[in-house]
Amino acid sequence: MYAKEMVKQSLPLLIFCGLGGIVAGSTLGVMRDLLESIPGLIVVIPAIIAMRGNISTAFGSRLGSAYHLGVIDADNLWNEELKQNIIGSLVLSFFISIIVGVLAYVTTIFFFKINPDPVKLIVIVLIAGIVSAVILTLMTVVIIYAVFKRGYDPDNTTGPALATFGDIVTMLCIFGSAVLVEGVL
């Protein structure tokens, strides 16, 4: 019976996730001119998407575990455990964004023999990383709350939902930060 319930909870979401991947990929197509004008930006995209996906799904998993352990529930969601997890997620996003920007800069020089503007590349990653972190942290809390309220197992729904929303939000944040930085720097 558990397998049937898992399929019932997960299948619609997984279909939605496939559509979300198409939206994220379409955003990449819209970014063609930016990718050509900002050396190293293409190197950043897989890294920042992976970073956001890993941090968001780990955050969601930690909240799911806290739910299973009775540390949080739908009526007691906003507690010290949640606050500490939010702070950890945001701080981690900040530092990893800087590291990804620096590594993208070095990788672009090493593999492509192109010397991108390091400030521009790092600022794009930092803005995209922080903005997507804030959005996805809020989305994680909303998703966890909605899953709890519906009585679903957060392990069946949270990971795929956050991975898909993470891809879409992060691609939009990269695009937005690249447009912003390209216009300013």
Most confident range (mean pLDDT) of 44-58, 119-133, 147-161 is 119-133
Please report whether residue 88 resides in a domain.
yes
Q: Read off the pLDDT of residues 4-30 as tens digits, 9 standing for 90 and up.
A: 777 776 777 778 777 877 877 787 788
Taking residues 158-168, report their average pLDDT: 83
Buried-exposed string 139-177: b where 16+ CB fall within 10 A, e elsewhere: bbbebbeebbeeebbbbbbbbbbbbbbbbbbbbbbbbeb
In a domain, 100, yes or no: yes
- Lowest-confidence range among 3-12, 34-43, 163-172? 3-12
The long-range contacts involving 3-8, CB below 8 angstroms and separated by at least 24 positions, are: 5/153, 6/153, 6/156
Q: What is the mean pLDDT of residues 39-48?
A: 89
Residue 105 has pLDDT above 70, yes or no: yes
Domains: count for the chain: 1
Give the domain range for residue 125: 53-180
Q: Is residue 164 part of a domain?
A: yes
More confident residue, 123 or 153: 123
Which contiguous run of DSSP H or E holds residue 70? none
Encode pLDDT of 71-93 as tens digits. 887 777 788 888 999 999 999 99
Strand runs labelled E in 26-108 = none
Task: Say if 7 falls within a structural domain.
Answer: no
24 within some domain: no
Q: What is the pTM of this model?
A: 0.85
Is 69 contained in some domain? yes
pLDDT of residue 168: 87
Q: In the prediction, which pLDDT does 95 show? A: 95
Of the candidates 82, 76, 73, 166, the residue with the CA atom closest to the CA atom of residue 128: 166
Is there a domain that residue 13 lies in?
no
Residue 145 lies in a domain: yes
